[in-house]
Amino acid sequence: MFEHVEGEPVLVLSEDRCWALLEGVAHGRLVTVVGGRADIFPINCAVADRRIVLRTAPGSKLAEMAVNESVLFEADGILSDQAWSVVVRGTAARLETSADREAAEALQIKPWVPTVKDYFVRITPQEISGRHFRFGEHPERELGEGSEGG
Amino acid sequence: MFEHVEGEPVLVLSEDRCWALLEGVAHGRLVTVVGGRADIFPINCAVADRRIVLRTAPGSKLAEMAVNESVLFEADGILSDQAWSVVVRGTAARLETSADREAAEALQIKPWVPTVKDYFVRITPQEISGRHFRFGEHPERELGEGSEGG
């Protein structure tokens, strides 16, 4: 499924591949920045039509996205012999119209906890990037060697 | 192991519990901010003496931490019926002395890929916070209801 160039442990993923991976995720991490200070939140989400939708209760996530709509979303998948990570840079907006909210409800985002989360937020992507890692041993170096970097 | 107050799906974790969880992780996510713009990177790491140590190759992570040493680290664990997430806000510094580098080598951080990663970075924490989630169904609401928040 992930065709690395022979011997290359890192594969840069195409945009299509990134979205295909995100369509399978139910949680990720949201990064907000206010006044130069970042915050990171674990979130439950769904991905549809190349938008990320999250459901949230009132709180710091919503407040910070209202101040600065530029956010990051990260999701990853880690197995014993491989891993992938996809990062989306985008713009967050609260869904206000009933049509938007109904479409978001239909995604059936499964929250981790049964508190009422009344707000839907949609992240519209500006950039997406992803990498797939095939695990291997770290090439040990002799002490004192080490000019060519890696 | 996680003693929630009866009926409470979210448990705020003590500092000791947060560190105990982090001591078991081998990867997490690093958030850097430069010029008000955040980046997030999956990282391999180890936790010792309440410091997070990561091993990295030259690149944007190192460059961004040199510009702004204030970083976030997040790790989480997600099972079918529960999840936890711990966030550390701290200060990143490259390890320069041979004593520091040898101590970091001894942590045997397992990188995902066998490229040479010559730099160690240690995150000294200023704040740590964590939550444990016990999963449950979302309490459905009647349409039109919805004043008391959640």
Tell me the ipTM for this assembly.
0.86
Instruction: List, for chain B, all residue ranges whose pLDDT scores fall below the cut of 70.
Output: 115, 137-150
> For residues A117 and A19, which has the higher predicted lDDT (pLDDT)?
A19
Q: Among A75-79, A114-118, B109-113, name the most confident range.
A: A75-79
Contact A118, B149 (CB under 8 A): yes
Residue A52 has pLDDT above 80, yes or no: yes
pLDDT of residue A7: 76
- A113, A117, A133 ranked by CB distance to B112: nearest: A133
pLDDT of residue B47: 94
Give phi and psi for B127, each to the nearest 5. Answer: -140, 145
pLDDT of residue B147: 36
Domains in chain B, start-ordered, CATH in brackets? 16-134 (2.30.110.10)
A149 to B58: CB separation less than 8 angstroms, yes or no: yes
Question: Closest-CA residue in chain B for A75?
Answer: B42
CB contacts, 8 Å: A141 with chain B: 116, 118
pLDDT of residue A145: 36
Could you count the other beta carbons within 10 Å of the beta carbon of residue A130? 23
pLDDT of residue A137: 61
CB burial of residue B69 (10 Å; 0-12, 13-18, 19+): middle
Residue A51 has pLDDT above 70, yes or no: yes
A138 to B37: CB separation less than 8 angstroms, yes or no: no
Question: Closest-CA residue in chain A for B108?
Answer: A138
Relative to beta strand A27-34, strand A70-78 is: antiparallel
CA separation for the pair A61, A20 (Å, rounded): 26
- Chain A window 56-95: which residues touch B at a Cβ cutoff of 8 Å? 57-58, 70, 72, 74, 76, 78, 83, 85, 87
* Rounded average pLDDT over A64-86: 93
Judged by a CB distance cut-off of 8 A, whether residue A38 touches chain B is yes
CB contacts, 8 Å: A10 with chain B: 113, 115
B116 to A39: CB separation less than 8 angstroms, yes or no: no
Helix (H) or strand (E) holding B75: strand B70-78
Residue carrying structure tokens 């990867």: B27
Q: Which of A8-12, A13-17, B71-75 has the lowest mean pLDDT?
A: A8-12
A112 to B137: CB separation less than 8 angstroms, yes or no: no
Q: What percent of chain A has pLDDT over 70?
A: 89
Structure tokens at B7: 């009926």
- B33, B57, B118 ranked by CB distance to A36: nearest: B33
Q: How far is A92 from chain B (nearest CA, A)?
A: 15
